[in-house]
Amino acid sequence: MTRSAKEWNDKNTLVMEEFRANAGIVVGQGYRGMPLLILTTTGAKSGQPREIPLCYVPDGEGYVLIASKGGSPTHPDWYHNLVANPEVTLEVGLEKFQAIATLPRGTERRRLYDAMAVEMPFFAEYERTTTQREIPVVLLKRVTNTD
């Protein structure tokens, strides 16, 4: 089933409401047991804040995201936003903090993609069926103050 942009936005709103009401735990909307965070990017064209809930896996002190868009032939909007503006805000559990996005390549990309696919096998399926593009991996690391 293909969802319209409005249907995706409505679902994401419900997920973010549940996330914020339950200290980062979401059991509805098909996300039971999946680690979720809320990513806030700055719109590449609009310059406005854009929020989206996303599945992640931890990697050391970082957070790994896969820009799969459900196996679509195009990158998700949030990916374009963070490429244009890599400084983002993350909400993980009860924490909210600034982070910087990087785009691992080569063997590091492969390692991180495979780690995510082990935890959430649907990402392996997206990669098998997405032939028009290489699905990007994003690594987010907390910004630390040196003051």
Which residues on adjacent β-strands are paired with residue 62? Answer: 59, 141
Rg of the chain (C-alpha set): 15
The three-point CA angle 107-101-46 to 5° equals 135
Domain extents in the chain = 5-140
Sheet strands (E) in 4-114: 36-42, 49-55, 57-59, 62-66, 87-92, 95-102
Sign of CA dihedral 102, 60, 109, 49: negative
Q: Which residue numbers in the chain have pLDDT < 50?
A: 1
pLDDT of residue 5: 76
CB–CB of 81/42 below 8 Å?
yes
Pick the CATH number of 5-140 from 2.30.110.10, 2.60.40.420, 2.60.120.280, 1.20.140.10: 2.30.110.10
How many whole angstroms separate alpha carbon 81 and alpha carbon 40? Answer: 10
pLDDT of residue 48: 96
pLDDT in tens, 114-129: 999 999 999 999 999 9
pLDDT of residue 3: 64
Sheet holding 49-55, edge to edge: 49-55, 36-42, 87-92, 95-102, 137-142, 62-66, 57-59
